[in-house]
Structure 1
Amino acid sequence: MPALHIDHLTKTFGETKALTDMTFSVHPGELYGFVGSNGAGKSTTMRIALGVLSADSGEVRFGEESMSDDIRRRIGYMPEERGLYGKEKIANQLTFFGQLHGMGKADAADSAVALLTRLGLGERLDDRLDDLSLGNQQRVQLAASLIHDPELLILDEPFSGLDPVAVEVMSQMLVERAEAGVPVIFSSHQLDLVQRLCDRIGIVAHGSMVTEGTVEALRTSGPVLFEVHTPARGWYPAGTAVVEEEENRVVLDVGDVDDQTVLHAALAAGPVHSFTRRVPDLTELFREVVQA
């Protein structure tokens, strides 16, 4: 599968600069988490990639090819504003969407049944969309993005409104697509889920990419902090700095000081009940990056 390349996109709406030099890539077989606050530019980037919006400048490529209508038919897209037909039977409209992507009717119908069954809706094939709960409507929307076995998946807030069981089913389906070589990009405010699923993450703010990398690289890119549970005080080696201090606990920024040096100093001063590296989770990291 080719990679998706977002190359120096700029987009302005009136006086508002929605995107400024937005640049990143999503590689084959990769789950890429696209995160940012509301209004950061995530949906605008995805809509430009799909051709729903045009960029003022920049380019979207799939592999070496500029995005075209032919390529877009090979993409699975799940918009934040859901776009299914409320009065139509869910299996029928999924079959219709499959045909729009170039599938034969029989193949599209078989794919619709298989996907809806996998998503726990096998007994509701003939129900209208409006007769389903919001969470089940979300499952149908995912099926619509997968109906044609896409070569690229772009999903805008796919987990919004889902119960934990549905989140697990959807997560597994996205992981399977990535394992089959498909580039998968999704936005989400559920940062614990992004941290668990994604190979790489891009954090955007004010229309620009602020930082990106693997989950591990991003989480360990800041100061080296150790949390030490000990009643002793004043033992801190030269080159370290106190970040937090309270009874029986201290957090040190150890800088370039070896962790074993810090541990031995703590043990020499008194009992040590725990000594752990404190690595921020994605929620903490996101807050720090966006505020900065």
Structure 2
Amino acid sequence: MNDISQPADSHSKDLRPLAIEARGLIKDFEGTRAVDGVDISVPEGAIYGILGPNGAGKTTTLRMLLGIIDPDAGVRKVFGHDDPHQIAKLIGYLPEERGLYPAMKAHEAIGFMGALRGLPLEEGKARGRELLEKHGLGHAADRQIRQLSKGMAQTVQLLGTLVHQPKLVVLDEPFSGLDAINQGKLERMIRDLAESGTTVIFSTHVIHHAERLCEGVAIIAGGKVPYAGSVEAARDRIPAQVRLETREREGKWRDALPADVRHEGDFWNFSLPESGIETLLRALIEGEAGILSLSIERAGLHDAFVHIAGEAAARALEADNAAETA
């Protein structure tokens, strides 16, 4: 049996069993390396994001995890199984390429997708009606897919992914093409799934979805994963920034300011010292600097992405977002 251990940056203190674990995944297509040594660990019940620009290897990675394609090297396990096909009934998968039979009615399409995962067709249709009603689309249950808006059709396909009540839900760019209202609905659905104990892993090129939803992320660029771990740990790779305004401009207290301090307008800006803010505050007060305001701002996931993946990957990410909203 292959020994798969969690990387140091991953959920090392998380005692939950792993829904997905992969080490050293490699995939080549016609001599081009699409995925180059990907390591991922996803605890059960987590919301986990694979974040990177289009063409970075996100879809190929998901397909290898699901057994749709086999890696050329490396190992992967889903709920402890080497072959994901053995537990296909426990998995729901929404591919990036959406596709529903246009002549099918909405509840029939959901039932059909459930049948592909082993759910009896009539039971799937009945559940389809229930799910559509629950998500405010009960009026559309008997409409053909061709009669639905793009957002409604995408919701139907998502419900078809969930109708057999999987333990693992894998979504490839699920927010792509959705307006802000439907994006918000999808975020709530993902949170509800995790609260019920379902593991959710999704790929995205939109940082704010990953930052709002995920406890863990894999940052992928050029087929490599330079970081896989918690969102908090990714943000902590960049020191928090302090913004200080003082009444006085001179005094012995200035010796206590960190070496990277920058005086910009009325403010002193610098990185939060590793020792914390308390020692500095004491020096400012004892030195009668006259503190007018002080704020500490942690780095966001966007800053962490730039720091970890580099400027080129960040520009590609921004270009993808701009192209989608154009």
Deviations 1:161-183 (A, max 9, x none): 22333223322222222222222
CA distance in 1, matches of 2:265, 2:237: 29
The 1:209/1:233 distance shift into structure 2, 3 A limit, reads farther
TM-score normalised to structure 1 length: 0.91
Report the residue type matching 2:165 in the other structure: D
1:281 correspondence with 2:300: yes
- Within the candidate set 174, 182, 194, 1:178 is matched to 194
Q: C-alpha distance in 1, partners of 2:65/2:272?
A: 44
Q: 1:118 aligns with which of 106, 111, 134?
A: 134
The two structures have a TM-score, normalised by structure 2, of 0.82
Counterpart residue number, 1:249: 267
Match of 2:38 among 22, 33, 51: 22
> 1:10·1:19 contact (CA, 8 Å) conserved in 2?
yes
Q: Secondary structure of the residue that 1:202 maps to in structure 2?
A: strand
Q: Give the number of aligned pairs.
A: 292
Shift in Å at residue 201 of structure 1? 1.6
What is the SS of the residue equivalent to 1:112?
A: helix
C-alpha displacement of 1:130:
2.4
Equivalences for 1:93-242 in 2 at 5 Å?
Answer: 93-230=109-246, 232-233=248-249, 235-238=253-256, 240-242=258-260
Does the 8 A contact of 1:232 with 1:266 survive in 2?
no
Counterpart Cα distance in 2 of 1:266 and 1:236 = 8
CA distance in 2, matches of 1:97, 1:149: 12
1:90 Cα deviation from its structure 2 partner: 1.8
Shift of 1:63: 2.4
Shift of 1:12: 0.9
CA distance, structure 2, for counterparts of residue 87 and residue 215 of structure 1: 42
Question: Any stretches of 5+ residues in structure 1 without a counterpart?
Answer: none
**CA positional deviation for 1:9:** 0.7
Do structure 1's residue 43 and structure 2's residue 59 form an aligned pair? Answer: yes
Q: Deviations over 1:175-228 (max 9, x none)?
A: 222222222101122322221211212211211221122222221232243111
Report the identity percentage: 34
**Structure 2 gap segments, 5+ residues each:** 1-16, 312-326
Residue type of the alignment partner of 2:95 = P
Q: Once the 2 structures are TM-superposed, how far is the Cα of residue 239 of structure 1 from its aligned partner?
A: 7.0
> Do the aligned residues in 2 keep the contact of 1:6 with 1:59 (CA within 8 Å)?
yes
Bigger shift: residues 86-95 or 41-50: 86-95
Q: Which residue of 1 aligns with 2:20?
A: 4
Contact 2:107 2:126 in 1 (8 A): no
Measured in 2, the distance between the counterparts of 1:105 and 1:44 equals 30
Distance 1:233 1:253, change over 3 A: farther
